[in-house]
Amino acid sequence: MRKFMLITLIVLVACQLGFAQTINRTLTTNAISTAHATGKPLPVVPRTVQQGKARPMIWVTGQKFTKGSLVAGEPSFCDYNSGSQIALCPKGLQTAYQTTQILGANGGAGMVIAIVDFFSYPAAEANFAQFNADMGLPACTTANGCFQSVDVSGGYDGTGTGWDLESMLDIEYAHAMAPNAKIVYIQGNPYSYGDDDESVAALGCPASPYCAGLGINYTIPAADVVSNSWTYYAGEIPSLDNAWVLGKPLLFASGDGSAFPAYSVISYPCTSANVTCIGGTGLYVNPNLSRLVETGWSGAGGGCSAAFGIPSWQGTHGSAVCSPYRAAPDIAAVADTNTPVAVYLCNIYNCGYFGVGGTSVATPVTAGLVADLDKARVGFGKAKFTYLNNLLYQAAAANYPYFYYDIVSGYNGYYAGPGYDLITGLGNLTGKNAGNRFFGLP
């Protein structure tokens, strides 16, 4: 038995070393240049590329924006400043999703958002500072106590691999939605075979007791909401399910392969009953940046689990098509490559603002909104969220139109329609109304 275990360990180490040699530092550059040349959006990390078990859910549109002059306090390519919608920026998302109107939210002040990615990205804080300066957002730095970087990647630098662009998207747009919240940037080990490293990546150290065993310093602020803009491309893994029990909202991207089981893969951990699964939409705004219409994105992951039954809190939502299994996603936000956000990335391979889509956008955007709601709840004497899904579905049952913007058009292999659907889940939380009503939930 010992001999077998030793052989297994040697094989795993060999595999890990083999994977380490496959790091491709031209993925971001190639995706951007190809998308620009063809005029078609592309996933930054193709399905055929092996760079560990987790896959970022991020697409580039091929658009590189020149900062140019400021219009209404933001770069001229932002939102509706040029007379048409080019790329959504923080001001546009805040306005369309009404986060600045949530009574008592104060931009998520006092809340902590953990951003979880794989590979390290050493230039993250410098890129973040430039984005904030350009977009008129509050500075969020190590020096002022707002930003904390936690590198448990095992020394794997992800510059150029696609995780660099993923990291900047996640950090920038969580901050855009909750500009007064703190950000903890977790960089997990892409080649880990141990449950500890998986849990670090999922839970956002030091929010989990797993972190102590890895020597993570508990002076780092524990997260109030954890954003994971990735999925496993190994199918559903029930043995990992307990790792997602966090005691605070844990968000995962639903994936960018359209309806499950695209490529014979069901998006996991998104289908776990222990997480909130975030689907994707196209968000179109008026000249005043209010929402014109929101539609289901054709690339957004969604469908029925093959391993997990309908949770009690999901009730009849999704059961018409998924019974007796869990339906995903739960809620949704902007992700469509036709309505991209502008992400700032600058390193030796690429430097500038790029149009980005994917459910990797929807996840940190929602994390910022949840931080805003959490701050509002605390201000009104309520406890912070310890779990989100039960409240989301209670809200839908109590007064659906007041909590949600119902997304009734779009097709990803399933059609969007009134109420719950397998592209956008319950729909999009309308910030102002959701904030007011969430005070009344347990």
Model pTM score: 0.92
Task: Report residue 61's pLDDT band, with 50, 70 and 90 as the boundaries.
Answer: very high
Q: Under a CB-based contact definition with an 8 Å cutoff, are residues 354 and 165 in contact?
A: yes
Give the tokens for residue 433: 């109304």
Identify the helix (H) or strand (E) that includes residue 70: strand 70-71
What pLDDT score does 181 carry?
97
Residue 287, C-beta contacts closer than 8 angstroms, at least 6 positions apart: 80
CATH number of the domain within which 161 lies: 3.40.50.200
**Cα separation of 90 and 174, whole Å?**
10
Give the tokens for residue 221: 């602020």
Of 13-17, 129-133, 185-189, 400-404, give the range with the top mean pLDDT. 129-133
Helix boundaries (H) for 97-248: 124-135, 163-177, 195-203, 210-213
DSSP type of residue 413:
S
φ, ψ for residue 323, nearest 5 deg? -50, 130
More confidently predicted of 195 and 348? 348
User: Which residues form the domain of 387?
Assistant: 2-438
What pLDDT score does 70 carry?
86
Task: Report residue 211's pLDDT band, with 50, 70 and 90 as the boundaries.
Answer: low
Give, in order, the Cα–Cα distances in Å from 71 to each of 2, 90, 286, 343, 410. Answer: 67, 14, 16, 18, 32
Mind listing the pLDDT tens digit for each residue in 16-46?
Answer: 333 344 689 999 999 999 999 999 999 999 8
Mind listing the pLDDT tens digit for each residue in 68-114?
Answer: 888 888 999 999 887 889 999 999 999 999 999 998 999 999 999 99
Mind listing the pLDDT tens digit for each residue in 381-392?
Answer: 888 998 999 999
Indicate the number of domains in the chain: 1
